Chains A and B, each alone.
Chain A
């Protein structure tokens, strides 16, 4: 066997059925990417460009947004699509550059763990969020909290 294998030589032999996860990952990167362009540009416009931009962001601003199911769905979709898109991208880089198998395994487990933990954390935050927490300083809350 020569030192340099022919291009397209399979590393682990030919596939013998089962789900082709690499193919679905490839498709996912493109499909989620297109949706994320809409979601993230919309997010950036509302939070950085419109009105007073970044200076308008505080608890009351976020509370006002997350009191609306529209923004819960928007932020939730962004959370899931972006984290999996980013995690899968980082997996590609680790597979390309981490030549030590042990280092590679640690990095891949780290990426998978942070993806799962942050998706659970983020989903819990936006679904259990209370824009008018009891006992909080009313000056820091969204204006609609005063009515209740």
Chain B
């Protein structure tokens, strides 16, 4: 009798979950492996970009002071050291941008949450492609006389 009444209470499963459990521990969205490291990198690149943004607004504001003041400061951006710094800046921005799109896909699309690890490597792939295009161009500009 108890079994019968209990089975009446439990609703028939409408659509059984199709996500198979991984063979090895694969971490979750934000704990361990790609999910966690993308989160860590997103925070580090975000902070780096934020502090550059503060400085960049202040240096650009010098156009309101005088042409000489602006040129004097912007010339420091053209040195080889800062040229390499611009590569680091573009690298940080590109990762933050591509991983930001990955986060949006995870948030709004069931497919995104399921394939977030694959999408992390897609992010890395796009990042490598963008830097492979930018770095030679930038090196040409800063060392090309």
Contacts and interface: CB of A to CB of B under 8 A. Distances in A.
A137 B68 CA distance: 9
B137 interface: yes
A90 B50 contact: yes
B28 interface: no
B68 A140 contact: yes
B111 to A, nearest CB: 17
Contacts of A93: 43, 46-47
Given A59-B70, A128-B64, A133-B67, A114 B54 contact: yes
A82 B60 CA distance: 15
B77 A54 contact: yes
Contact of B97 (A30, A37, A57, A124): A37
Interface residues of A, number: 42
A19 interface: no
A83 B51 CA distance: 10
A34 interface: yes
A53 B136 CA distance: 12
A62 B71 CA distance: 10
Interface stretch (A4-12, A40-48, A101-109): A40-48
Contact of B138 (A40, A48, A121, A128): A48
Interface of A: 30, 33-34, 36-37, 40-41, 44, 48-49, 52-55, 57-60, 62-63, 66, 79, 82-83, 86-87, 89-90, 93, 114, 118, 121-122, 124-125, 128-129, 133, 136-137, 140-141
Interface of B: 43, 46-47, 49-50, 53-54, 57-58, 60-61, 63-64, 66-68, 70-71, 74-75, 77-78, 83, 86, 90, 93, 97, 100-101, 103-104, 107, 134, 137-138, 140-142
